[in-house]
Amino acid sequence: MKKTKVTIQDVARRAGVSIATVSFVLNKKSSQMAIPTETIERVLRVVKELEYVPNAAGRHLASGKSHTLAFVLPSAIHLRVDAFIPQILSGLNEVCHQNGFKLLVYAIEDPSKPDAYMRMVQENSIDGLFILNPREDEKQINVLIDVDFPVIVGPGWQNPKACGVGFSNHLAALRATEYLLSEGHRRIACINYGPENYLTAASRYKGYCDALTQAGIAIDEELVTWADFSHESGYRSAIELLERDCDFTAIFTGNDTVAIGVMAALHDRGKEIPRDISIVGIDDIPPSKFLSPPLTTIHVDGAGYGRLAGEMLISLVNGIRPQPDRVYLPTSLVIRSSTSAPPARLSVSG
């Protein structure tokens, strides 16, 4: 009978440790992770007992020679519904092609699952990760960063060793809400684009709240709903808001994708934009200027975002820390007729 191949999972299970711990021990990075000597010896003993032979993917974490990068999303639904993602991908793919790197796209559906990131890296011989919009509980990202595995996250990621690129979600939401305030609105609803455990969604909500607070307006929870990335969720959230029968004259939506669903719901309920309700989004995705009415939004250069993230990640893969290592991209307010002001563009970079 053919002998079953022993996997790193088998070693981890027998030794009573995580797959990451086994990988660090075998790649001689255990000292960097402060793994106890007793644990190291137990792992090595099990490796010998099971006659485990690391494959090329298992050894890759230390060698990094595959010329493969991964673009990591928090959920596969983003690829289906978020119109900002293709812009980022186009820039990232362009840089990969120019530098001879392959690009893989992955979704981490359950960040609490042990070794989700480590397994992805090992099984696919990945040189570096560009992680978009992580959730607050994705602490495995820090495991990779702390052992100097190439990772690009958002510039606000709370790890002193992290490299990041993105834009200030807080500032974008703050400026969008401030613009509605400058137009005379005082009852401004918020339909955010994703659940609050996503760091960018939480940051955009804080920007909305801070703008109201600075204007001396109390936060009314009746005016707040949370969508789930898609046009459909924006539609449902807007209907929910309307059925609460709470008075409001404007809506800040967490992104343009959700705003499209919100606008459809308002049309279906007989609301005229902007006569009855003004709307502002974030992203300035290509369809935004062709909506009826065209959408006022915060512009972000999605393709430039992807290109810069790719360039920074390839630098890390080549052993060079990019300078600067945390970059906030500029944004600008694009005023269209979903609000009552005439077309214009105002800088809101900061």
The reported pLDDT for the residue numbered 30 is: 52
As a dihedral over the C-alpha atoms of residue 9, residue 14, residue 20, residue 23, rounded to 10 degrees, the angle is -80
User: In one letter, which amino acid is 340?
Assistant: S
The reported pLDDT for the residue numbered 42 is: 92
Share of the chain above pLDDT 70, in %: 89
Q: Predicted confidence band at 146 (pLDDT cuts at 50, 70, 90)?
A: confident
Position 205 pLDDT exceeds 60: yes
Residue 49 to residue 20: CA distance in whole angstroms: 19
CB-based contacts of 172, cutoff 8 Å, min separation 6: 204, 207, 282, 298, 300, 331, 348
Taking residues 90-94, report their average pLDDT: 96
Taking residues 313-338, report their average pLDDT: 94
Position 172 pLDDT exceeds 70: yes
Share of the chain above pLDDT 90, in %: 61
Residue 197 to residue 5: CA distance in whole angstroms: 39
CB-based contacts of 65, cutoff 8 Å, min separation 6: 127
Contact 331/348 with Cβ under 8 angstroms?
Answer: yes
Position 165 pLDDT exceeds 60: yes
Residues in the chain: 350
Q: Predicted confidence band at 163 (pLDDT cuts at 50, 70, 90)?
A: very high
* Tokens coding 211: 């703008």
Three-class SS of the chain: CCCCCCCHHHHHHHHCCCHHHHHHHHCCCCCCCCCCHHHHHHHHHHHHHHCCCCCHHHHHHHHCCCCEEEEEECCCHHHHHCCCHHHHHHHHHHHHHHCCCEEEEEECCCCCCCCHHHHHHHHHCCCEEEECCCECCCCHHHHHHHCCCCEEECCCCCCCCCEEEECCHHHHHHHHHHHHHHCCCCCEEEEECCCCCEHHHHHHHHHHHHHHHHCCCCCCHHHEEECCCCHHHHHHHHHHHHHCCCCCCEEEECCHHHHHHHHHHHHHCCCCCCCCCEEEEEECCHHHHHCCCCCEEEECCHHHHHHHHHHHHHHHHCCCCCCCCEEECCCEEEECCCCCCCCEEEECCC
Contact 307/282 with Cβ under 8 angstroms?
Answer: no
The closest alpha carbon to 277, from 206, 180, 203, belongs to: 180
Main-chain dihedrals φ then ψ at residue 179, nearest 5 degrees: -65, -45
Question: Whole-model pTM?
Answer: 0.79
The reported pLDDT for the residue numbered 65 is: 58
Position 239 pLDDT exceeds 60: yes
Contact 330/349 with Cβ under 8 angstroms?
Answer: yes
Q: To the nearest whole number, what is the mean pLDDT of the chain?
A: 87
Taking residues 306-310, report their average pLDDT: 97
